[in-house]
Amino acid sequence: MLIAVLSDTHVPSRVACLPGRVYEVCAEADLVLHCGDFVEADVYRDLQRFAPVRGVLGNMDGGALAGMLREEEVFTLEGMTVCMTHGSGPPFGLENRVMKRFAHRNPRVVLFGHSHRYTEREENGVLLLNPGAVAAARGERSMALLTLVPDGNPRVERVLF
């Protein structure tokens, strides 16, 4: 299963619209996972044109999104427990707070956003992934392609644009 993972799109508060590369990557995917800070519900609906979308609320999401999304999601894909949240608070210690939040769920993959910094590391058999921010400064914008296969290790490809 090929999954497009993105976060912190901040449309229209930081960028006017999603970059074309986001659409290209999502069109290849079987599923789109958004780790929060859509800002506008139209972004969620727009991404649904390419693949099913699951998302979580970010600290900048309100209005219609608050009625559509939760602060965290836990689900199973290809036999693996995947946990997703936006994250909150200061950047210092964010990764530890996110991991602690889901420790009782025995996840294989933990996805988060908030810091706008790409993070990919394995800790005690758990893949921790922050795809970076679509709304970051030019040259630092990123998302990720996550490949999950039954009985296999997750593979990640960072996508810069």
The CA distances from residue 126 to 53, 58, 80, 129, in Å, are 23, 22, 10, 10
The span from the CA of 61 to the CA of 106, in Å, is 28
Which pairing describes strands 126-130 and 109-111: parallel, antiparallel, or unpaired? parallel
Q: pTM score, two decimals?
A: 0.97
pLDDT of 127 strictly over 90: yes
Q: What is the mean pLDDT of residues 131-137?
A: 95
Domain count within the chain = 1
Domain boundaries, position 57: 2-160
- Region 18-24: mean pLDDT is 97
- The confidence score (pLDDT) of residue 137 equals 87
138 vs 89: which has the higher pLDDT? 89
Contact by Cβ (8 Å): 70, 40: no
- Residues 50-97: tens digit of each pLDDT: 999 999 999 999 999 999 999 999 999 999 999 999 999 999 999 999
Single-letter code of the amino acid located at 35: C
CA dihedral 131, 132, 136, 141 (to 10 degrees): -50
Q: What is the pLDDT of residue 33?
A: 99
The distance of Cα 57 from the centroid of its chain, to the nearest Å, equals 11
CATH of the domain at 118: 3.60.21.10
Tell me the backbone φ, ψ of residue 102, rounded to 5 degrees.
-110, 5
In which region does residue 64 sit, left (phi positive, over 0), alpha (psi from -120 to 50) or beta (all else)? Answer: alpha
Q: Are 126 and 107 in contact (CB under 8 A)?
A: yes
What is the phi/psi pair of residue 158, to 5°?
-80, 135
